[in-house]
Each structure stands twice: as structure tokens, then as C-alpha cells.
Chains A and B, each alone.
Chain A
Amino acid sequence: MKLSQLKIGAIGIIKEFTDLEMSVKLMEMGCLPGETIKVERVAPFGDPIAISVSGYQLSLRKLEASTIELI
């Protein structure tokens, strides 16, 4: 399952990334394999989304979220 498919309030654990370029940026921002993610909310027009990860909030577009595979 991809992060972009996770519902608001749902929790997932990062398994791997499907895009190398994106994975470097995401890891620098604390999105690492094994890390727990919670979808906090979705922007008014349905995109981007806000997630909780390693103790803070991060916003990213659904397209970017779709490169994160969850366990």
C-alpha cells in the first residue's frame, strides 16, 4: 500500500521508496524506512496532505506520497 492511499487519521510504517530522487529528499526530512507515519489532514482541494513523522509535521503532494510504500 502507498502513503497516498492512506485515509485521514490512519497510521502506517514506511517500507521502501519507489523513486530514488524523491527518496533522498524524503529521508533528509526524516521519512525513513521503519518510521511510523500518520496522515493528519488533507488540504481543502484534496491535495497536498499533511503527515506526522519523526515528531513533526510534513506536507507533501499526493504524487510524492505515492512514491512511499508502506508495510
Chain B
Amino acid sequence: MKDRLRIALVGNPNTGKSTIFNALTGLNQKVGNFPGVTVDKKIGFSKLANNTTLEVVDLPGTYSLYPKSVDETIVFEVLSDKNNPSHPDLVLIVADATNLKRNLLLYTQIADLGLPIIIALNMMDLAAKSNMDIDVDGLAKRLNVPVVPIAARKTQGIEELKKAIQYHSNQPFQTPTIDIEIIAPDLIKSISEELNIDNPYVALQIAHQYQNLRYLTKAQISQIETFEKQYDFHSQKSQAAETIARYNFINDVLLDTVKYNSVALEENISNKIDHYLTHKIWGFVIFIAILFAIFQSIFAWSEYPMFLIENVFVWLAEVGHRYLPEGVLTNLLIDGVLAGLSGVMVFIPQIALLFAFISILEDTGYMSRVTFMMDRLMRKVGLNGKSVVPMIGGLACAVPSIMSTRTIENWKERIITIMVTPLVSCSARLPIYTLLISLVVPKIYVLGFINLQGLALMSLYVMSIIAAILVAWVMKGIIKSKAKGYFIMELPVYRMPRWNNVGITMFESVRTFVTQAGKVIIAVSIVLWVLASYGPSNRFEKIDEKYNSPSLLKKYSSVEIVRLKASEKLENSYAGVLGKSIEPSIKPLGFDWKIGIALITSFAAREVFVGTMATLYSVDGDATKMESVREKMAGAKNTQTGLPVFTVASAFSLMMFYAFAMQCMSTMAVVYRETKNIKWPLIQFAYMLVLAYVASFIVYQLLK
């Protein structure tokens, strides 16, 4: 027995694959990428009773080995290529017992690839409830494969599953399902010889998918192309014939092993729920109410943890100043890095909550109903019902949302979704909005219960969604495509959310946020601090000289001198020079050079704005305390006019700019990876910048 065993988890979507993954591996998992593509690769580890280390690779859920999205291509690639680093010793197929027929289609395909298999027959509890009699032993005998009945949500059968994995056979003993060779005899033979493959079904799948398989060489691809022309191979006809043959086999198997006694009960409950949740009027009322409740809870529940995090940073800064030796490095660490980090880390509670709510919406099956309700509307503006998911996710973060557009099969609908998702107000804009609104909008109640600050914030969110829809509608007219869009989608039965899955999603999203954003913030804070602390040629020395002059020393107290000197130094630093150089172009928007610096630094990531403000305004006092930053910004005066920098007009203009401008390197990187064309992120950057400038200009000129 080997001391290490790799198994791949394969199954249809909504079969409880991830529940089984979590049950097998617990928190002992990590998320990476399959090399060369950005498909999430979830790996978990576990120990079997005989001390074998079990490595579980969770492959993307799919209905068939014929891929309908980028993610699904990975499944065949991993299973068919023995040199793939994720190639498993054993395949664990998760099948939904309540819907065996459709689930067994994928089983028959994988069985024919010739890998050792175990079937985990999930949702046995639901199958029993809906009066289905499944002869598990009969099924196992018929297919000649171990079949383990489980109920993953109730963690029933997990131990038996582990035992079955431990005692698995190293050889594929499964009964052959259909006659593969008959589908395309000559082509299969030629491809098998050309690529030195001994399995006819692998050869046939390659015949269908060769253009997307990354392990084939260019020469091999063109050779297969030649074969297909020679033998007049028609991919769709062959697929149709194969699928029909597979279902004949499955019907035969099920006829002897499954007895249906009456209609499924669970489905009836789902139907009743759907009667309200997808109702013409109630459906939308409920949807809006749910979104509203989510936002209310995000703000209410995150208040206290945010306060705690803020205080931890204040404490850290105090401790740092007290115990670290005074000097350049300490200043960099505390006023640069720590100040920058605190502006972002306070944000963890809100991000965790937003991701948790979105994962609950998906887990319960509600998200697919929203998709179902919205498809018609979304299609009108060039999107797909499935675009709703990335757009709602965009409220949290555009990066994972853009990756989730892979479920949209149609290229044009997908591109438009990718192009407009970053317009939806993401959580990185939230601290900017919160800070600026608290500066200029009074905390009063309209009609006795509507918080004016909250109202301002909500209108920014509503505006962002309207903007996304309008831009999509414009793009629908510009982008040309002939391919048809599809909307063939399973509506899973309603389920209770799996709380540990929600917990894991929260944990993962926070970890990604902290590591990704944290890196950028630290880098930007250091650069910014250097730029703000040093100036070109001898400007700083001249300032030192100026404030050493006896006339000034008489006029001001020493504390005032320090402050005046520091602010003049900032103005003459590299950052100040940079900010001043763009001042003419941002003046019509109501921004001064300090905001200019913030705009420049936050082009890599919006969340840097608050950190930059903290650094820029922390000439004296406590940089890490948000309260103090806000006070300083409120008191900030324009050095030339003497008027306040942050007025209603300039603050709203600034919010418009942050609402529309593409200030996120991570998003641009992910758009590039997803579209594989530098054109798209560049177009996106340009149109969003124009939109931001125009919107800010209009708002400032109107409110001024």
C-alpha cells in the first residue's frame, strides 16, 4: 500500500460535493490554481485508518465530460492526462440519489476513461423520504463498482466512505457501459495510434475537445484536425448518439435497481416556496427586502468588531511609538505601513459578512431563482439571468465575481457582464463613502426614521447598479456576436444553508482579502511615505533654513513651527509635486493636490485612499485613529483660497469619481486573465475613467 493516495472528487453541481469534501478534510484544505488557468483548485488532506495520507482534489461540478464552461474543461484534462500533477489514483463520484438518472450520465462517461472508481450515493435520506427504493447492492453489482450510501449533510456514511477509499482496488473493474468504438471507429483508431492512447473513450473525447486541451502539442492538434476531415467527423452528431446510448444503458440499470413509489415530497415543498419567491409581484418585493436586510445587517453587525479592530491599531501605534527607537524606520513603520493597514483591516468584518450572505443565498438555492426571475430583463440589456450573480457578488468584490461569470456560456453576454461588474459598488469603496459622507452629510433623521447618511450611502449603491445596467445596454449595441445565448439551468430544491460551508467561505474570503490587499497596501504605503518624506533637490533644506530665521521663530510657538514646517515640506515633497502637477486637471472636479496624491496612490487599489488620507493628514497626532483623520480632513483648508477642502460639492464629486473609476489592479488583472486579451481591461479602464471624470465634473459644478 502506498503511503499517499490522491482521489479526485467529481459530480454534478448541487450534489453535495463540497459538503463531502469538507466532511472528508475538515479545515485541512487549501485553495490554489490549476497551473496555467485561474480555475480554483481545492485540495484537502486527511488520514486514513491505515495511516495513508489522503489527498482530495475537488474538481469543478459538471453534468458531463463535454465542457460548457472554462472550468469544466479541467475535469477531463485532469482525468485523462496521466502526467497532470493532479491526476488521481482513484475517482470518487458523488451522485444525487434523488436524481440518479441524470447523475449516472457523468458516471458512465468517467467509468469509460478506465480509472478506479467509488460512487458516493449522496442524499439517501431525501431519497428515502420521497419513497424511492434504491437497491444499493444491486447497483454496485450491476456496475461492478463500490457504492457507498451517504447523507453528507447529516454526516451519515462518511466513515464507511473512508473505509471504502482505504480498501479501494488499484484496477478499474467497472462493467463497460457502451460500445465506444462503434461511434467513430476509424477516427478513434487513428487518434489512439497517433497519441499512443490505449483507451478508446479517451481518444473519442480528445476528438471532441482537442482544441481546448493544453497537453496536446500544436503538431498533434493539426494531425487530429486532418483525421477529422478525412473521416468526416461531426462532433455534435457523435455526442448525441453517445448520449442516447448512455441513457439506454442507464435506463437498463435503473429498471432493476430503483423503484419509485410516489412523487417526491421535497420537491413539492420547493414548489410551494417557489410559488411565492418567484411570484410576479411578491418575488421582487421579497428579493429587494432580502437585499435591504443584508445591507442593514452588514452595517449593524460590523460596527462593534470594526471598533475593536480600530482600537487594536491605535494601541499598536501607541506601543510602537513608546518602545521603538525614534527615527526614520519607526516613522515608516507606524505612520506609513501601520496607518495604511489599519484603514483596510477595519473592513474585514464587512467583507466577511457580505461573503457569508452571498454564500447563504447560493447555498439555499435562492440565487438560481433570482437568476430565473431576472433573465428576461437582463437579456434586454445584453446580459444573461446568470449575470445577476456576479453583479450581486460585485457588491462584495469584483475579482471573484468576474471569475464567476464563467457559468455564462455565451461569449458576448459574458464579456458585457465582465465589463460592467466593476461598476457595482464593491466593499473597497465603502470606507471612502463612509468617511466622506460622515464629513459632509449631517447625521439627522428624515421623516423620523430614515437616516440621512444611510440614505446617501444607499443612493450611491442604487446609482452604481443603474450605471452598470445602462453601460451594458450601450455595449449590447457595440459588441457584435453571432453565437446564441443559453439559459438551460437546474433549479435545485431549497435546502438549509450548510453553516460550516458558510464559515469556510467567510474564512477564505477574509484570508484572500488580507493577503492580496495587504501586500498592495504595504507596498503603496512605503512608496507613498518615501514620496511624502523626501523632496526634489534642496527644497527641504531651504524650508529648514526658512523656519530657522529669527523673525519666524519669534512669531510662532515651537509647536506651530513644527506643524507649519511639516505641511510645507509635504507640499514640496515628491508626492506634493506630483499632486500639484495634476491639480489643474482635477481642479474642475473640486479636488486639491492632496486629493490628487490620494487619487494617484489609489489607482492600484481604492482601499488605499483612506490610508493615504491617514498618512497625509497625520502630520501630527494619531494616524491610526479614524476619528482623528476625519477631524483633520474636516478642518482642512485650501492653502490658496483658505476655504474648506471638503464641502458637499467636492465630497460628492470625489465619491462619484471613486464610484466610477477603475482603481483596482486586481480587477484589471483578472479581466485580462479571463478574456485573454489586453484590449478588454484597457477599454474598461478608459471608459470608466471618462465616466468618472464626467460624473464628478457635473456633480461638482451643480453643487458648487
Question: A24 and B99 in contact (CB under 8 A), knowing A29-B63, A58-B488?
Answer: no
A5 interface hit (Cβ, 8 Å): no
A71 interface hit (Cβ, 8 Å): no
> Which B residues are in CB contact (< 8 Å) with A46?
376
The one of B63, B66, B99 that contacts A55, using a Cβ cutoff of 8 Å: B99
Please tell me the size bucket of the interface on B: 35 or more
> Which A residues are in CB contact (< 8 Å) with B280?
44
B98 engages A55 (CB within 8 Å)? yes
> Which A residues are in CB contact (< 8 Å) with B68?
25
Which residue of chain A is the closest to B365 with respect to CB atoms? A57
B541 interface hit (Cβ, 8 Å): no
Assembled-state Cα–Cα distance A27/B377 (Å): 27
The A-B contact count (CB < 8 A) is 109
Assembled-state Cα–Cα distance A30/B517 (Å): 44
Assembled-state Cα–Cα distance A10/B492 (Å): 21
Question: A57 and B267 in contact (CB under 8 A), knowing A26-B488, A43-B372, A46-B376?
Answer: yes
B372 engages A59 (CB within 8 Å)? yes
A55 engages B489 (CB within 8 Å)? no
Interface residues in A19-37 by Cβ distance below 8 A to B read 20-21, 23-30, 32
> Which B residues are in CB contact (< 8 Å) with A45?
373, 376-377
Q: Contact mask B258-269 → A, CB, 8 Å, 1/0? A: 000000100100
Q: Contact mask B97-117 → A, CB, 8 Å, 1/0? A: 011011001000000000000
The one of B236, B237, B278, B493 that contacts A44, using a Cβ cutoff of 8 Å: B278
B240 engages A24 (CB within 8 Å)? yes
CB distance from B14 to the nearest CB of A (A): 9
Q: Contact mask B521-538 → A, CB, 8 Å, 1/0? A: 000000000000000000
Which residue of chain A is the closest to B64 with respect to CB atoms? A28
A48 engages B385 (CB within 8 Å)? yes
Main SS class of interface, B = helix
> Which A residues are in CB contact (< 8 Å) with B486?
25, 61, 64
Question: A43 and B278 in contact (CB under 8 A), knowing A27-B240, A29-B102, A32-B247?
Answer: yes
> Which A residues are in CB contact (< 8 Å) with B236?
20-21, 24
A69 interface hit (Cβ, 8 Å): no
The one of B278, B375, B490 that contacts A56, using a Cβ cutoff of 8 Å: B490
A66 interface hit (Cβ, 8 Å): no
> Which B residues are in CB contact (< 8 Å) with A58?
488-491
CB distance from A37 to the nearest CB of B (A): 13
CB distance from A65 to the nearest CB of B (A): 10
> Which B residues are in CB contact (< 8 Å) with A29?
63, 102, 488, 490
> Which B residues are in CB contact (< 8 Å) with A52?
267
> Which A residues are in CB contact (< 8 Å) with B376?
43-48
20 A-B pairs whose Cβ atoms sit less than 8 Å apart in the complex? A20-B240, A21-B236, A24-B66, A28-B63, A28-B64, A43-B375, A44-B279, A45-B376, A54-B101, A55-B98, A55-B264, A56-B99, A56-B102, A56-B491, A57-B267, A57-B490, A59-B487, A59-B489, A60-B487, A60-B488
